[in-house]
Structure 1
Amino acid sequence: MTQDIFELPGPEGNSIVGSLLDFGRDPLGFLTKCANEYGDIVPIRLGLTPACLLTNPNYIEQVLKDTNLFVKSRSLHALKTLLGEGIITSEGDSWFRQRRLMQPVFHQKRITSYGDIMVAYTEQMLDTWQDGESRDVHREMMRLTLNIVMKTIFNRDLSEGQAQDVAHALDVTSDWFESKRQQNFIFLEWFPRPENIRYKNAIKQMDKTIYEIISQRRASGENPGDLLSMLMVARDEEDGSQMSDRQLRDEIATLMLAGHETTSNTLTGAWILLSQYPEVRTQLLAELQQVLGGRSPTIADLPNLRYTDMVIKETMRVFPPVYNMARKAAQDCEIGGYQVPQDCTIIMSQWVMHRNPRYFQDPEVFKPERWANNLEKNLPRGVYFPFGDGPRICIGKSFALMEAVLLLATIAQKFELNLVPDHPIVPQASITLRPAFGVKVTLKQNTGVRSQSVI
């Protein structure tokens, strides 16, 4: 006979709201404490919502594989005002059709054509940097990756007014989601609070911008080879249908949020860790000098930038850009022989699993070399999953990894970034894992390294 998960030991919490306040105040600390103190499946009560945390990789793999039984959770549905029925939020047949339509857009050969854009925009940014000055590198990375995603989606530069509207909407969304977390995830969008009004107005302006661009593109019939063009011509292989303007808008909003936020946070994490571990930075520079010799990196260099790739993998382990994933049980079911009720929220935390000492020796230490000898393939599924797993694994994974390695290589060749002393580095669990107070660094130009622009 299977055991009900709520008969298992877990945090007691408040008699009225359970562990909602603890989770809302400090999600990372709360989930880590649960993982350390309890078993493979930890029952948690979040207000009126029954929930559980999974710390067994086999259970995590089971949930991420079965997209019919385990569907998207309530907290992600709160982003539907921004993302609509995009590939992240949609379910069932709608998701499957959109995924099928978008898959060719992210074919490896297609995304490699964006490598030169990524490097060129990075070098434009570096031209504005000066030796000895201080910058908020998180803000710099956010702007750079948004520049790149706007160019690859729309073939437009961020300096243009329309692109600024999009950037503003994404900033407001992150602030709005964080305010909801502080209010213990009470998503009352209709209530006329100032943050709700700002959020809705920003989305309205962003929608106006996106629909204008779609309309202009349809009227002109141009095909500049950007992602918008690819999405517009994509046809369903089964019924020949194409995306409506609304579907295009939802997928574009999804690509803009997912396509810049996670990469910028990964790169920000890399600069934090490289400043704290100078021996890793020395080894990274040695590889860059050996492979590139001061020239700009290209797609062709990626197979040889192995240590650079390991720095990115290890950064995503220590600071996973997505710290937490949640699903909801669509019906009563079993996980690992335990009975899970319908509507139970199932939490799987990259922050917890990526720092699990059962799978990573010295998990608090930044050691890129741990990824040598195919560690990622040798780990059980459900241990390291920065891009999720199963059928709903991030469709832009290859794009993001390529971008992170190229940007890291381009910047690290020219500048050393050192953390400003006493500036607090506090991970904030919002839509993604981001630094609560930015990351202030002092720039030090690497002498003797001259790069040749790809432009």
Structure 2
Amino acid sequence: MKQELLMITLLSVVFYCMLSLLSLRRNILLVRKTGLPYIVVPVYQYDGILALIFIRCLKYLERSILPPPGSPTSWRSLLGSSWVWQLLYEPFEKVGADNFFTVSPRGMILSTADPAVIDQVTSRRHDFPKPTFLYKNVNIYGDNVLTSEESKWRRHRKFVSPAFSERNNKLVWTETIKHTETLLKTWCNGSCENILHSVSADMRRLTLSIISMAGFGQCISLDEHEKSQSKDLPPGYSMSYAASLKHLLHNLLPVMVLPRWMIALSTYKRSAEAFQQWGKHMKGLVLSKRADFDAGLNEKNVDILGQLAKGSKPQQSNDGLTDAEVVGNAFILLLAGHETSSGTLTHTIILLAQHPEVQKKLQDAIDVILQGRLLDTLDYDAEISRVANSYVGAVVNEALRWVPPVIGIPKQVRNSPQQVDVEGRSISLPANTMIRVCVASVHRNPKHWPQDLSSNSHTPSESEDDLDKFIPERWLQHLSQSEPGQHESTSGADDFSSPNLYHPPRGAYLPFSEGPRSCIGRRFALVEIYAALITIYSQYSIELAVDEWAAGVPLEQMSADERKLAWQQANESARQKFRNNMGIRITLQMEGTHVPVRIVERP
């Protein structure tokens, strides 16, 4: 009996291996027909939990036992998706092409850093749909604009788009200035030379409070230690809106992955309660907003939720969103919106601390915009285009190029082959091929970005590739040879009709994706980022904190050379953390570490 079981097991393994080899051979033949380079990998990234476990185990072994991969095109280098940030443009440079395949027995992935191909893939929504199965875990409250496709997506987009109006953006501008002023008071409590150890957490609290107020009319305190009081809650509620939302976002992973019954029986029981309570709060708010519309009180519905409720119906209808779909969309917009803005603000603050000369130019540009006026007197309609076209806009654009919120955008070939033009020839992409739009890689593609700025040339320098440097000047139109309008603007680069800034080719700049499925809240996010930076840097400077490298010597007692050396060490530490400690937490974030900075009042 044991021998028979062993024989059956061996035959099963042999049979599986033969099928895998035959599948691999078939996939290689399909890829060869395209004429594009390819690299064979043993595991298909999108093959479920087993593939994820294999990739995680391999990465662990590489950190502990195995030597690092010898080449950026080694199969070990290209497993998973984190390589897009770790290697940037290197694999494409190594293979000598801006498009290449990774081929496994279970499927094929086309990785692209080619703006022309990216433009085709993102604009042809029906031929290259979004693989919505990758987003099912965030669909915790109901169908929404992120996790739907085809007719469902069109219906969601129809009712979600009006929520992001200029009237709402004006509210975002005002709320951002107000909440950022509040944050600055906590930063400078008792001293305006405090070391900030939690910029990332502070920015998440800031952007969460902004989107909660401008999006849903709900005030969330910036106090990290705020406690909800049960006596102040309406009957039937055990957690406040703020407390339930903060707890939900802090423990989001188990809520997204585990079944509800399992969460309720585990150590994450409080998370299950937070999930239920926030949903209950939101459903109550939807009913309240709808009642305001019925009563003709439209002025109370400037925020995002008010506009969503305006087009909602209690039951399924082609003429509106259901209450569950309104809450589902509200959650996705809140989650993605505050994570995107908080990450960009965090990274921009650190980059400006690393580049004090850029920070000084930013402050000079802000002074020109303000002309001695108080922040709360700035008129959004009159100032927003001016801000976006100034050095402030160049700084934000460069920060989004240097460290984009999302490093890769997945697409999929439909269940029939699709033709695309690659470098002047038409090729057929095999059916069901996954496409990885490598955002961080195309942002470093030297063929499409101004470089060698010292000589005011748009031609890449052979001696030095400066695309790994933070240089906002590359966005200033007069530093490139291209004339305004030479390139069609991308969705991210032309949100405010910026004639003074460089316009990359379509598909080269993707901080908010591109095409019909581009980020619906990109203007909301940019307004928020601009307003926060102007509020902070009009009053303060933020420097790298060098205390860790001062060897216990007070800064005022250090010589100029000692200060310079300590700053260089702090700067190198920040650079290494950007390179080695970044991970995907909804968006690209620094994980397990931080870059300490010091806030200093401007003279």
Which TM bucket (shorter chain)? 0.7 to 0.9
Q: Say yes or no: does 1:433 pair with 2:588.
A: yes
AA of the residue aligned to 1:129: W
Match of 1:296? 375
Structure 2 distance, partners of 1:365, 1:446, is 27
* C-alpha distance 441-105 of structure 1, shift in aligned 2 (>3 A): same
Match of 1:5? 31
Q: Say yes or no: does 1:172 pair with 2:254.
A: no
Structure 2 distance, partners of 1:90, 1:372, is 38
AA of the residue aligned to 1:338: I
Q: Say yes or no: does 1:142 pair with 2:231.
A: no
Compare 328-337 and 293-302 and name the one that shifted more: 293-302
AA of the residue aligned to 1:35: F
* C-alpha distance 246-175 of structure 1, shift in aligned 2 (>3 A): closer
Q: Give the 5 Å matches for 1:277-292.
A: 277-292=355-370
1:159-216 Cα shifts (integer Å, max 9, x gaps): 3621232233233336888xxxxxxxxx786996979988766544432332233244
Structure 2 distance, partners of 1:384, 1:16, is 28
Structure 2 distance, partners of 1:313, 1:151, is 26
Q: Give the 5 Å matches for 1:378-393.
A: 378-393=503-518
* C-alpha distance 229-273 of structure 1, shift in aligned 2 (>3 A): same
Structure 2 distance, partners of 1:413, 1:74, is 43
Compare 104-113 and 198-207 and name the one that shifted more: 198-207
AA of the residue aligned to 1:367: I
Match of 1:271? 349
AA of the residue aligned to 2:350: I
Match of 1:182? none
Which of 333, 342, 345 lines up with 2:418 in the alignment? 333
TM-aligned CA deviation for residue 240 of structure 1: 8.1
Structure 2 distance, partners of 1:199, 1:81, is 16
Which of 143, 153, 163 lines up with 1:105 in the alignment? 163
Which of 308, 313, 317 lines up with 2:392 in the alignment? 308
Compare 101-110 and 343-352 and name the one that shifted more: 101-110
Over the matched positions of the two proteins, sequence identity in percent amounts to 27
Structure 1 distance, partners of 2:514, 2:86, is 24
Structure 2 distance, partners of 1:240, 1:340, is 35
3-state SS of paired residue (2:330): helix
TM-aligned CA deviation for residue 44 of structure 1: 1.6
Structure 2 distance, partners of 1:192, 1:6, is 47
1:395-436 Cα shifts (integer Å, max 9, x gaps): 111111111111111011222222343464422133211111
AA of the residue aligned to 2:160: M
* C-alpha distance 172-334 of structure 1, shift in aligned 2 (>3 A): farther
TM-aligned CA deviation for residue 341 of structure 1: 2.5
* C-alpha distance 190-168 of structure 1, shift in aligned 2 (>3 A): closer
Compare 287-296 and 250-259 and name the one that shifted more: 287-296
Structure 1 distance, partners of 2:505, 2:254, is 35
Structure 1 distance, partners of 2:102, 2:261, is 28
Structure 2 distance, partners of 1:411, 1:16, is 45
Match of 2:82? 26
Match of 2:279? 207
Structure 2 distance, partners of 1:107, 1:217, is 17
Match of 1:181? none
TM-aligned CA deviation for residue 92 of structure 1: 0.7
TM-aligned CA deviation for residue 327 of structure 1: 0.9
| Contact 2:312/2:322, CA 8 A, preserved across alignment | no
Q: Give the 5 Å matches for 1:7-406.
A: 8-14=36-42, 21=55, 22=76, 23-24=79-80, 26-27=82-83, 28-29=85-86, 32-38=89-95, 39-45=97-103, 48-73=106-131, 76-82=134-140, 84-130=142-188, 131-135=192-196, 136-159=198-221, 161-173=240-252, 203-218=275-290, 224=300, 225-234=302-311, 241-292=319-370, 293=372, 295-296=374-375, 298=378, 299=380, 300-305=382-387, 306-331=390-415, 332-336=417-421, 337-360=426-449, 361=451, 362-373=466-477, 376=493, 378-406=503-531
Q: Give the 5 Å matches for 1:434-453.
A: 434-437=589-592, 439-448=594-603
AA of the residue aligned to 2:179: Y
| Alignment root-mean-square deviation, CA | 3.2
* C-alpha distance 264-75 of structure 1, shift in aligned 2 (>3 A): farther
Match of 2:68? none
| Contact 1:132/1:442, CA 8 A, preserved across alignment | no
Structure 2 distance, partners of 1:200, 1:53, is 38
Compare 26-35 and 263-272 and name the one that shifted more: 26-35
AA of the residue aligned to 1:228: L
Match of 1:414? 539
TM-aligned CA deviation for residue 112 of structure 1: 2.0
Structure 2 distance, partners of 1:429, 1:417, is 26
3-state SS of paired residue (2:155): helix
Gaps of 5+ in 2: 1-28, 56-75, 222-227, 229-239, 452-465, 478-483, 488-492, 494-501, 546-569
| Contact 1:41/1:53, CA 8 A, preserved across alignment | yes
AA of the residue aligned to 2:99: I
AA of the residue aligned to 1:263: S
AA of the residue aligned to 1:333: Q
Structure 2 distance, partners of 1:190, 1:37, is 47
Compare 404-413 and 112-121 and name the one that shifted more: 112-121
| Contact 1:134/1:443, CA 8 A, preserved across alignment | yes
Compare 251-260 and 110-119 and name the one that shifted more: 110-119
* C-alpha distance 325-412 of structure 1, shift in aligned 2 (>3 A): same
Equivalent residue pairs, number: 435
Structure 2 distance, partners of 1:81, 1:245, is 14
1:27-71 Cα shifts (integer Å, max 9, x gaps): 322564432322232112478342110121111111101111212
Q: Which protein has greater RCO, CA pairs closer than 8 Å, 6+ apart?
A: 1
Structure 2 distance, partners of 1:89, 1:192, is 24
| Contact 1:87/1:99, CA 8 A, preserved across alignment | yes
| Contact 1:142/1:261, CA 8 A, preserved across alignment | yes
Gaps of 5+ in 1: 178-186, 449-455
Structure 1 distance, partners of 2:391, 2:254, is 35
AA of the residue aligned to 1:357: P
TM-aligned CA deviation for residue 387 of structure 1: 0.9
Structure 2 distance, partners of 1:338, 1:103, is 35
Compare 295-304 and 340-349 and name the one that shifted more: 295-304
Structure 1 distance, partners of 2:541, 2:335, is 28
Structure 2 distance, partners of 1:34, 1:199, is 41
* TM-score with structure 1 setting the length: 0.85
